[in-house]
Amino acid sequence: MTIFRDDRPLLERFRRGDRAALAAVYERYVDDVATLARRGFTMESSGHVYVRGASREAERELVQDTFLRAFAAPARTAYDGISPYRPYLLRITKNLMIDRHRAAKAAAKHVDDTGVGDIDALLAANADLGGVDPVALDWQAQLAATRAYLATLDAETRQIVTLRFEDELSQEDVAAKVGCTRRRVRSVEERAQAELTAYLRQRGLLS
């Protein structure tokens, strides 16, 4: 069911670009968009071409670009409020993924033309690690290092990190639970990410 069904005021606020309304729509559909970006899809109309899921950074960019496009003023005002909104959003994500898929193929062809050879074969050869997924391998090593990093934190910082990252509470809710300001929560979460990045880089676990 579309989020705007039986909620005309929300649709009006959405069309005006009201931040709370945009945030409500985003929260309702962000996981669907992220799942599509991560998993990829098959294009039957183009002879079963499989558009691969994105890397972490590309997934985040796809989510962002989908909502930037959907929330732009012309798209907001043009939406009729009756057609289901989820397929509309996912169509934007798919189109973005197809554009990038085509651009990546063009880039690979360019490399081929310049004499580097078949990029797929080259990448496949480089990725041959005896059947072990190198991304999963990296992830497990990084996760172990993250646990070691978390053990170095003081109790309050660890609680804020747990509530914010694991339990996925809002900054306001974390502040209320811990008894500090929202600004403090924000500062702790930013510092934790920066420190963890440095910690992983020192150990050669992050480029």
Place of tokens 């062809």: 109
* Shortest distance (Å) from residue 26 CB to other proteins: 5
Q: Please give the DSSP secondary-structure letter assigned to residue 166.
A: I
* Shortest distance (Å) from residue 155 CB to other proteins: 16
Phi, psi (degrees; rounded to nearest 5) at 130: 70, 35
Contact 104, 96 (CB under 8 A): no
Indicate whether 157 belongs to the interface with other proteins (CB under 8 A).
no
**Closest CA relative to residue 178, chosen from 157, 151, 199:** 157
Q: Cα 121–97–5 angle (5° rounding)?
A: 155
Indicate whether 155 belongs to the interface with other proteins (CB under 8 A).
no
Q: Which is closer to other proteins, CB of 80 or CB of 113?
A: 113
Among 146, 157, 159, 178, binds other proteins (CB under 8 A): 146
Among 43, 98, 122, 180, binds other proteins (CB under 8 A): 122
Indicate whether 63 belongs to the interface with other proteins (CB under 8 A).
yes
Indicate whether 148 belongs to the interface with other proteins (CB under 8 A).
no
Indicate whether 65 belongs to the interface with other proteins (CB under 8 A).
yes
**What single string gives the DSSP state of each residue in 33-93?**
HHHHHHHEEEEGGGTSEEEEPPPHHHHHHHHHHHHHHHHSHHHHHH--SSS-HHHHHHHHH
Residues 6+ apart with CB under 8 A from 50: 40, 41, 42, 43
Q: Which is closer to other proteins, CB of 45 or CB of 163?
A: 163
Indicate whether 61 belongs to the interface with other proteins (CB under 8 A).
yes
Interface positions with other proteins (CB under 8 A): 13, 16-23, 26-27, 30-31, 34, 38, 56-57, 59-61, 63-65, 67-68, 71-73, 100, 103-104, 106-108, 110-111, 116, 119, 122-123, 139, 142-143, 146, 150, 161, 164-166, 168-172, 181-183, 189, 192-194, 196-197, 200, 206
